[in-house]
């Protein structure tokens, strides 16, 4: 290993902090009292978080976001893994066509489905429900494609040995493919979760009931309704924004490397 | 093998049903709705032929949105790619400083766009914003960043670049790492200056990555919505009224389902054309043989 130059490391750290300064400073603002903020003084309070949760329902939005993103991830990764297993290990009439149709969804811009999906869910009575938030986000062509490539790299002799022992395809999937694909499944699950966590336009359209707001919708509205006689109540807004960022931020710091690997593999392929 | 013939169909069926219902059938529905007049409430939805398209093309809103979106794309995409390839060429080496900077650059790419929009609304706000505070320090007057039609789009371009840069950098680094090290060694033995090496070795060899990013970011720029919705709502005076924002207004504020669908179809055709261009270009000779 080469020895690092501590001066360069410190400079990089400083440059990184400078780049992220707006976000870091927004967290600082979230810890100020409103009066001190507008008087230009420094203070410390957690009261803005308490107000965001107690007066503006952000606890509920947080639970909604966790629930919706969690279920989308669970369903999405299950469907993608099953399909990827079929595409990687079976040759069947129509298989190439269906795989092509799955990959082609990557090129289909999502805005085209906004109005139709709204109508479909209205007809099914699912607007303003959790199901309405979740169902349109479940299919993920990229995850299916990515996992199929990964599964193809697993030696087929492992499957065949299991079939010899009388295992069913589902058992092979569950006992051999899934455990051996764990890193790929983990990075795709993470990718789906983050995408859904940050999703905005669909929840904006599909949900009008305040009880079902996700953090993104709640934050955008809180900023828009401007609570605080004419002046924006920035400390409150920044507390809400911090609640919106923090879970993904923590997840990111834990698993940055996996996420980056997943994204670059998908792009370079 | 001894598996039954329908096993693979059962495995792909759930994904296929979701893809069909929420991705493919909507394309057909959009096309159908674009030929009808409907406000979501009335019991019937009469067929009106091409009238929605005609109205759209006759409206100044549509052309304004197309112009704003094209402007946003043409200004922001080259900026992003130039900054990214420059940053990536420094950060490609494995070291603690470059890992730190990569992390910092990449963080905004996974951060909520709504939060970023809110935070930068503060950064650029007229009375309490960070930028105007800095300007005041050096004795300059306040600027109405988001209320001035000539500036608002630039602010959005800046924020979008700040957010997406790290993604481009990460992809460029992956592309750069694929370049054989001996090419660099050869270039520096020949006495190549840094800039020279970059122009003659790095830039040409990273071309496939550039094409990939170019097309992805153009398609993405044409669909920018969240940041517009949070920061400007398309204003002031339509100066940031990007195409998907207009689609949202027509479809979900005015509830003109027919005209909204017509706009969706037009944008769809445009984007599929761009995606097609991508597969053509990527299929062509932009790859190098190592």
CA-based nearest residue in chain A for residue B270: A109
Which of B9, B19, B86, B233 to mutate against chain A (most A CBs within 10 Å)? B19
Q: Tell me whether residues B29 and A263 touch, CB distance under 8 A.
A: no
A119 pLDDT exceeds 70? yes
* Residue B286 forms contact with A (CB below 8 Å): no
pLDDT at B72: 96
CB burial string B220-233: b at 16+ within 10 A, e below: bbbbbbbbbbbbbe
**Model confidence pLDDT, tens digit, residues A55-90:** 999 999 999 999 999 999 999 999 999 999 999 999
User: Which of A52-56, A137-141, B187-191 has the least mean pLDDT?
Assistant: B187-191
pLDDT at B44: 85
Residue B275 included in any domain = yes
**What is the pTM for the complete model shown?**
0.89
Residue B15 included in any domain = no
**Rounded CA separation A122/B32 (Å):** 18
Q: Tell me whether residues B116 and A264 touch, CB distance under 8 A.
A: no
Residue B152 included in any domain = yes
pLDDT at B290: 35
Enumerate the residues of chain A whose CB falls inside 8 A of the CB of residue B178: 268
Whole-number mean pLDDT of chain B?
88
CA-based nearest residue in chain B for residue A85: B11
Q: Tell me whether residues B252 and A205 touch, CB distance under 8 A.
A: yes
The model's confidence at residue A124, banded by pLDDT at 50, 70 and 90, is very high
Q: Where are the alpha helices (DSSP H) in chain A?
A: 6-19, 21-30, 34-39, 47-54, 58-89, 95-104, 114-123, 130-134, 141-152, 156-164, 169-172, 178-180, 182-197, 201-206, 215-225, 234-268
Residue B239 included in any domain = yes
Q: Considering the domain A22-268 in this protein, what is its CATH number?
A: 1.10.3720.10
Is the separation of the CB atoms in B114 and B132 below 8 Å? no
CA-based nearest residue in chain B for residue A9: B97
HSE of A201 in the Cβ direction (CA atoms, 13 Å)?
Answer: 23
Q: Give residues with Cβ within 8 angstroms of B89, minimum separation 6.
A: B172, B176, B198, B202
A227 pLDDT exceeds 70? no
Q: Tell me whether residues B14 and A194 touch, CB distance under 8 A.
A: no
The beta-carbon neighbor of A113 closest among B23, B98, B118 is B23
Mean pLDDT on A254-267:
64
pLDDT at B10: 94
Enumerate the residues of chain B whose CB falls inside 8 A of the CB of residue A114: 247-248, 251-252, 264
The beta-carbon neighbor of B268 closest among A11, A112, A256 is A112
Domain region containing B100: 20-283
The CATH number of the domain where B273 resides is what?
Answer: 1.10.3720.10
pLDDT at B191: 66
A185 pLDDT exceeds 60? yes
**Model confidence pLDDT, tens digit, residues B14-32:** 999 999 999 999 999 999 9
pLDDT at A254: 76
HSE of A216 in the Cβ direction (CA atoms, 13 Å)?
Answer: 29
The beta-carbon neighbor of A109 closest among B226, B260, B268 is B268
Mean pLDDT on B238-248:
95
The beta-carbon neighbor of B11 closest among A19, A85, A204 is A85
pLDDT at B156: 97
Mean pLDDT on A208-220:
95
**Rounded CA separation B123/B130 (Å):** 5
pLDDT at B281: 62
Whole-number mean pLDDT of chain A?
89
Residue B170 sits at the vertex; the CA angle it makes with B168 and B174, to the nearest 5 degrees, is 115
CA-based nearest residue in chain A for residue B116: A23
Residue B42 included in any domain = yes
The model's confidence at residue A257, banded by pLDDT at 50, 70 and 90, is low
CA-based nearest residue in chain B for residue A114: B26
Residue B5 included in any domain = no
Where are chain A's structural domains? Answer: 22-268
> What would the DSSP string read from start to end of chain B?
--S-TTHHHHHHHHHHHHHIIIIIHHHHHHHHHTTB---SSSS---B-TTHHHHHHHH-HHHHHHHHHHHHHHHHHHHHHHHHHHHHHHHH-S-SHHHHHHHHHHHHHHHS-HHHHHHHHHHHT-TTT-HHHHHHHHTTPPP--TTT-TTTHHHHHHHHHHHHHHHHHHHHHHHHHHTS-HHHHHHHHHTT--HHHHIIIIIHHHTHHHHHHHHHHHHHHHTT--HHHHHHTTT-STTTT--HHHHHHIIIIIS--HHHHHHHHHHHHHHHHHHHHHHHHHHHSTT----
**Model confidence pLDDT, tens digit, residues B74-131:** 999 999 999 999 899 888 888 888 888 998 999 999 899 999 999 999 999 888 888 9
A143 pLDDT exceeds 90? yes
Handedness of CA A100, A106, A111, A114 (dihedral sign): positive
The model's confidence at residue A249, banded by pLDDT at 50, 70 and 90, is confident
* Residue A25 forms contact with B (CB below 8 Å): yes
B287 pLDDT exceeds 50? no
Phi then psi for residue B36, to 5 deg, are -125, 165
**Of A252, A235, A226, nearest in space to A20 by CA:** A252
Structure tokens at B26: 């909507």
pLDDT at A1: 46
**Model confidence pLDDT, tens digit, residues A146-171:** 999 999 999 999 999 999 998 999 99
pLDDT at B69: 96
The model's confidence at residue B174, banded by pLDDT at 50, 70 and 90, is confident
Residue B4 included in any domain = no
Q: Give residues with Cβ within 8 angstroms of B286, minimum separation 6.
A: B207, B208, B211
pLDDT at A2: 54
**Model confidence pLDDT, tens digit, residues A92-107:** 999 999 999 999 998 8
The beta-carbon neighbor of B26 closest among A13, A116, A248 is A116
**Model confidence pLDDT, tens digit, residues B64-76:** 999 999 999 999 9
Residue B122 included in any domain = yes
Enumerate the residues of chain B whose CB falls inside 8 A of the CB of residue A168: 3
**Model confidence pLDDT, tens digit, residues B34-74:** 999 998 888 888 899 899 999 999 999 999 999 999 999 99
Q: Tell me whether residues A86 and B8 touch, CB distance under 8 A.
A: yes
**Rounded CA separation B48/B36 (Å):** 5
A53 pLDDT exceeds 50? yes
Mean pLDDT on B167-192:
80
Residues 143-182 of A with CB under 8 A from B: 144, 160, 163, 168-169, 173
pLDDT at B192: 64
Q: Tell me whether residues B178 and A267 touch, CB distance under 8 A.
A: no
């Amino acid at each position: 290993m080469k020895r690092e130059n501590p001066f360069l490391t410190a400079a990089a750290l400083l440059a990184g902090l400078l780049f992220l300064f707006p976000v870091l400073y927004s967290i600082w603002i979230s810890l100020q009292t409103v009066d001190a903020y507008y008087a230009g003084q420094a203070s410390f309070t957690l009261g803005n978080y308490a107000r965001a949760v107690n007066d503006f329902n952000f606890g509920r939005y947080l639970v909604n976001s966790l629930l919706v993103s969690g279920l989308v991830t669970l369903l999405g990764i299950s469907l993608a893994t099953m399909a990827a297993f079929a595409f990687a290990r079976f040759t069947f009439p129509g298989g190439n066509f269906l795989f092509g149709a799955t990959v082609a969804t990557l090129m289909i811009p999502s805005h085209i489905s906004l109005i139709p999906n709204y109508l479909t869910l209205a007809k099914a009575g699912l607007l303003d429900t959790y199901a309405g938030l979740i169902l349109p986000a479940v299919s993920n062509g990229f995850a299916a494609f990515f996992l199929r490539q990964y599964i193809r790299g697993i030696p087929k002799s492992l499957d065949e040995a299991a079939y010899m022992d009388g295992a069913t395809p589902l058992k092979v999937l569950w006992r051999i493919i899934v455990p051996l694909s764990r890193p790929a499944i983990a990075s795709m699950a993470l990718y789906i979760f983050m995408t859904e966590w940050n999703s905005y336009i669909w929840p904006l359209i599909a949900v009008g009931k305040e009880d079902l707001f996700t953090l993104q919708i709640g934050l955008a509205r809180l900023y828009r309704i401007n609570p605080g006689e004419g002046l924006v109540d920035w400390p409150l807004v920044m507390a809400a924004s911090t609640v919106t960022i923090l879970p993904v931020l923590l997840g990111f710091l834990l698993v940055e490397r996996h996420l980056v690997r997943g994204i670059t593999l998908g792009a370079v392929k | 093998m001894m598996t039954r013939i329908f096993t693979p169909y059962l495995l792909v069926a759930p994904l296929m049903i979701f893809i069909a219902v929420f991705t493919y059938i909507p394309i057909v529905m959009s096309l159908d709705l674009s030929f009808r007049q409907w406000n979501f409430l009335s019991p019937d939805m009469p067929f009106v032929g091409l009238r929605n398209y005609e109205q759209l093309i006759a409206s100044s809103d549509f052309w304004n949105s197309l112009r704003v979106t094209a402007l946003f794309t043409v200004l922001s995409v080259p900026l992003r790619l130039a900054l990214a390839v420059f940053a990536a060429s420094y950060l490609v080496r494995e070291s603690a400083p470059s890992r730190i900077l990569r992390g910092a650059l990449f963080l905004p790419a996974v951060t909520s766009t709504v939060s970023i929009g809110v935070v930068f609304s503060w950064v650029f706000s007229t009375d309490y914003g960070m930028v105007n505070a800095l300007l005041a320090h050096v004795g300059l007057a306040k600027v109405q960043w988001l209320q001035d039609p000539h500036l608002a789009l630039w602010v959005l371009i800046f924020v979008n670049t700040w957010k997406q840069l790290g993604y481009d950098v990460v992809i460029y680094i992956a592309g750069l790492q694929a370049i054989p090290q001996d090419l660099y060694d050869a270039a520096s033995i020949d006495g190549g200056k840094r800039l020279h090496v970059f122009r003659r070795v790095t830039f040409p060899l990273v071309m496939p990555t550039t094409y990939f990013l170019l097309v992805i970011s153009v398609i993405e720029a044409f669909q920018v919505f969240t940041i517009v919705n949070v920061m400007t709502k398309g204003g002031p005076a339509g100066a940031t009224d990007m195409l998907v924002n207009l689609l949202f207004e027509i479809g979900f504020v005015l509830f003109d389902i027919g005209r909204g669908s017509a706009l969706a179809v037009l944008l769809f055709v445009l984007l599929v054309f761009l995606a097609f261009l991508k597969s053509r270009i990527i299929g062509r000779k932009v790859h190098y043989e190592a």
